[in-house]
Structure 1
Amino acid sequence: MTGFDSIHGADQKAASYWSKIYVAFIELSGSTDRTEKAIRNQWGKMQAQINLFIGVHATIVAVERSGGPSTLKRERSQAKGSPNELCDTEGGDDPDQHDRPLGTKSAKRAKLVLCADDDRRARSIEVKEALVKSQVHRNKLIEEQKLLALITMTAPPGDEVAAKALDLKKRQALRMLEEDSFET
């Protein structure tokens, strides 16, 4: 695999890479019921969902939380070398400044800040909804994978009861897969 083989890493062909993955899969799982192509296709499905999750996660992390402790804000401004020394000291705010009403420019600025906060909240809700949607899709893919695994199972030779029960389960699984394919 590329992680353990630094010499060949990105220089190897896709066929040799997936053959190494297939050999490692057989060694680790002890199962030979999947082909190399099946493993590659499954990885492609998982990779699409992982990329979606990483993008959503990066968006969430990038949004700075409002209302954080003032000590953290003070530490950040000191670390950046803030030129405003009044903000970096205790009691740096002028109490008389807050006694007068806001001017026109300050009122407009405050209104813009409120609109920006609303936009951030709306974006946060959209991101959360996208996460839920991707999780539902992931769960559906896992359920389909379980049904497909059930369909490929075989009963022990000579056990008629197990064969009939397995056949019934396979038919139910096929019906469920067909119903899901018509819904999407």
Structure 2
Amino acid sequence: MTKRIRAKHKIDRRLGENIWGRPKSPLNRRESRPGQHGERRVQKLSDYGQQLKAKQKLKGYYANLNERQFHRIYVEASRLKGSTSEHVIGLLERRLDAIVYRAKFVPTVFAARQFVSHGHVTVNGRRVTVPSYRCKVGDVVEVKEKSRQLPLVLEAIKSAERDVPDYVEADHNRMAAKFLRVPALSDVPYPVHMEPNLVVEFYSR
């Protein structure tokens, strides 16, 4: 499991985008990159630079996955019929921590990873502690009874910061969510423009 110990929003400043769309992002106050030379004008990126940034942005969005995990997702997506970039998004959104986040059981993707690994979630009635667990269409994800009154959960449910997408059916009274279908890129409510096609180009060089 990847652990993000340092300040998470440094990812925002390094990439120059508020990738989670959170009001706490330092980009809302200061748009420059971190470091003493952050105020300097950013040079135009090469094709490779654009591809690398697209990869870092998508990888960072999902709680900063490590390179091995992310590359494995690309390899699997490339073996499926159809658009590889669409399959990359579909595989990422099938992760258990992503579904917990989409269902608004927790406020952030980082909290979703920790929430799952600490055993607060079941899938189809079975306890699962692996954030990368891949859910299938029709799977029901529930918050365990003892975990439903956690301040983290109550805060997330009441938050108006984001909505539950239509490919996840969430019932906050039962604290359960059903994964209805594998989404396309256009279905996923990213706060910023994601370019999985550039990620595919990066890995297929």
Q: TM-score, normalised by structure 1?
A: 0.26
**Greater per-residue strand proportion:** 2
- Higher-Rg member (1/2): 1
Q: TM-score, normalised by structure 2?
A: 0.24
**Greater per-residue helix proportion:** 1
